[in-house]
Amino acid sequence: MMRGPVRTLLLVCSIALTSACVTSTVDEMVFNEPLEGIGDSSVVILGRRHASDYETEPDFIECVGDHIASHDQSIRVINELEFVNALYPWFEPRTAPLRPEDIERLLRQKPVAQKMAELKTEYMIWVDGATVRGDSAGSMTCAIGPGGGGCFGFGTWSDDANYEAAIWDFTDRIEVGRVNTSATGQSYMPAVVIPIPIIAPVQGAACDGLGNQLLEFLSSEY
Amino acid sequence: MSRSMISAPERGNLRHVFGIAVVLFTLGGCGPEQVVVKGKFPPPLMEPLPLNIGLWYGDDFAHHEFFDEAKSRTDSSWVVKTGEAQVQMWDTLLAGMFDNVVQMKGKPGPGQMNQAVDAVLIPHVDELQYAIPTHTNIKVYEIWMRYRFELVTSSGDPIAQWTMSAYGKTPTAFLQSDQAAVNLAAVMALRDAGANFATTFTRVPALQSWLQQRWRPAEEVIP
């Protein structure tokens, strides 16, 4: 037999599970798409880190890179940290090129030009944005004592993700596309002794949205 | 039932152990938050400048630490030790920036026997500030540093002195402790210091006349 509180908890959980979903929107603007993919060249995805109040999360950049590489294994995506370290100090927030024309000046330095040629970088994708927590509501009380501990209450919050990717053609030193993705979702955390987080995968949805759009641009199979 | 396997006195002991653990855990939170900055720093990708530079780290620099006392009961005191990471970063950066870098045997000064070099660089950290989300309500951890560099001859005569700032920040992340985030922000600040130094060295106004005596820069190194 199922007791009343357990049944209520299951009901709350099932309602919350069905509600913790994400709405995602993608806008794309492409000027010059490669018709046969990028061949044996590589692509690097970098996060913009100039703003003072937010930072494009490194794990989001990694997620987009993994998404592209896992869906089309012919595309070589250079790891962000590996690239930034290999070209230190030219891609730090202070020194990173802000416009495609800045690449020209960067390549005037022989070691940088040699490293770029070695990496066969055809496209450089700059991702700017962040996932931020919006409104939150509810309250939760937790207590701990010699006999044990537990929490009781209910909390809910929303997350908003907004990212824009600018695609630079490294050979022609021009911007060839721009993709924007935004996602929003509501997360819940009911707690009856143990808190049960029901998290809306907002950043994951934004990653998939952006990754799919970039795949359409870079891959000959999409 | 597993519950019946534990007798009453044993349960009492378990409660004591749990109680002591809770007290120790609570008291453990009373000490200052301590971060010993650790990171990896890549060598710079650039043509080395044709200079033979000596390097001297003072004790205040090589063992640099920053202490910030809690301003209220809800705040924590912080100790951020950057000395080891500073030495690691500057050693790596300068070795890639100049043709030859030599660690000085002693602080340059009159009568001090030292290796023959073009000049000796002495870095100082004059100021360090940090901010964590509980201070600013912004979800980034920040470290800001102000450096002062002295360039002197082997015998300690001043050639130039200039200051430079560095800034590093890192966003909040799920399951990331304050200490780990402050460490990451400090590593970013150190990388920024290296980037700033490497890309502006030949343009420091105080160094212009000395650099022109040594060599005429063929081209700016800034992209």
Q: What is the ipTM of this complex?
A: 0.79
Residue A131 structure tokens: 């996932």
List the domain boundaries for chain A: 28-131+162-178+201-218
Query: Residue A216 corresponds to which amino acid?
Result: E
Q: Which of B19, B22, B171 sits opposite A55 (nearest CB)?
A: B171
C-beta atoms of A132 and B139 within 8 A: yes
C-beta atoms of A53 and B223 within 8 A: no
* Chain A residues within 8 A of B223 when measuring between CB atoms: 90, 95, 97, 102, 105-106, 108-109, 112
User: What residues does B146 pair with on adjacent strands?
Assistant: B127, B165
Residue whose token pair is 């002197």: B152
Higher pLDDT, B171 or B94: B94
Q: Does A111 touch chain B (CB under 8 A)?
A: yes
* Chain B residues within 8 A of A112 when measuring between CB atoms: 45-46, 223
- How many angstroms separate the CA of residue B113 from the nearest CA in chain A? 35
* A-interface mutation test, from B14, B23, B45, most A Cβ less than 10 A away: B45
Decide if B79 contacts B34 (C-beta within 8 A): yes
3-state secondary structure of B25: helix
Of B93, B90, B43, B96, nearest in space to A85 by CA: B43
3-state secondary structure of A208: helix
Answer yes or no: pTM beyond 0.90.
no
Higher pLDDT, A131 or A23: A131
Residue A162 structure tokens: 């907004």
Q: What is residue B5's predicted lDDT score, i.e. its pLDDT?
A: 42
Shortest CA distance from A51: residue in chain B: B169
Q: Is the pLDDT of residue A209 over 50?
A: yes
User: What residues does A25 pair with on adjacent strands?
Assistant: A182
Fold of A28-131+162-178+201-218: Rossmann fold (3.40.50)
Q: Is the pLDDT of residue B17 over 90?
A: no
If you average pLDDT over residues B195-212, what whole number do you get?
93
User: What residues does A189 pair with on adjacent strands?
Assistant: A155
Q: What is residue A207's predicted lDDT score, i.e. its pLDDT?
A: 95
C-beta atoms of B44 and A88 within 8 A: yes
Q: Is the pLDDT of residue A172 over 50?
A: yes
**What CA–CA distance (Å, rounded) separates B116 from A155?**
68
**If pLDDT is split at 50, 70 and 90, which confidence band does B2 have?**
very low
| Burial class (CB within 10 angstroms; exposed 0-12, middle 13-18, buried 19+) of A150 | middle
* Chain A residues within 8 A of B19 when measuring between CB atoms: 146
C-beta atoms of B191 and A102 within 8 A: no
* Chain B residues within 8 A of A116 when measuring between CB atoms: none
DSSP string across A81-137: HHHHHHTTTTTSTTTS-SSTTHHHHHTTSHHHHHHHHHHTEEEEEEEEEEEEEEEEE
Of A218, A178, A200, nearest in space to A28 by CA: A178
3-state secondary structure of A205: helix
* Backbone phi, psi, residue A13, to 5°: -65, -45
Q: Which of A105, A115, A144 sits opposite B223 (nearest CB)?
A: A105
Q: What is the DSSP-derived secondary structure letter of residue B86?
A: H
Q: Which of A55, A57, A94 sits opposite B196 (nearest CB)?
A: A94
What A172-176 contacts at long range (C-beta under 8 Å, 24+ apart), as own/partner pairs, is A173/A100, A173/A101, A173/A103, A173/A104, A174/A32, A174/A100, A175/A31, A175/A100, A176/A30, A176/A31, A176/A32, A176/A33, A176/A123
**What CA–CA distance (Å, rounded) separates B172 from B35?**
17
The 10 Å Cβ neighbour count of residue A180 is 19
Bond into A89 cis (ω within 30): yes
Higher pLDDT, B71 or B129: B129
**What CA–CA distance (Å, rounded) separates A113 from A138?**
55
pLDDT tens readout for residues B126-179: 999 988 887 777 778 899 999 999 999 988 999 999 999 999 988 766 667 888
C-beta atoms of A54 and B219 within 8 A: no
- How many angstroms separate the CA of residue A57 from the nearest CA in chain B? 7
Q: Does A112 touch chain B (CB under 8 A)?
A: yes
Shortest CA distance from A108: residue in chain B: B223
- B residues 116-155 near A, CB within 8 Å? 138-140
Range scoring the smallest mean pLDDT among A51-65, A159-173, B171-185: B171-185
Q: Is the pLDDT of residue B1 over 50?
A: no
Q: What is residue A204's predicted lDDT score, i.e. its pLDDT?
A: 93
Q: Which of A90, A94, A146 sits opposite B15 (nearest CB)?
A: A146
Higher pLDDT, A181 or A14: A181
Residue whose token pair is 């390549």: A107
Of A212, A100, A196, nearest in space to A151 by CA: A196
Q: Does A106 touch chain B (CB under 8 A)?
A: yes
* B-interface mutation test, from A50, A95, A173, most B Cβ less than 10 A away: A95
**What CA–CA distance (Å, rounded) separates A174 from B137?**
38
Q: Is the pLDDT of residue A14 over 70?
A: no
C-beta atoms of A57 and B140 within 8 A: no
Q: What is the DSSP-derived secondary structure letter of residue B203?
A: G
* Chain B residues within 8 A of A100 when measuring between CB atoms: none
C-beta atoms of B199 and A95 within 8 A: yes
Q: Which of A57, A109, A147 sits opposite B46 (nearest CB)?
A: A109
Of A100, A68, A188, A64, nearest in space to A137 by CA: A188
| CA–CA–CA angle B74, B75, B77 (5° rounding) | 140
pLDDT tens readout for residues A60-79: 999 999 999 999 888 999 99
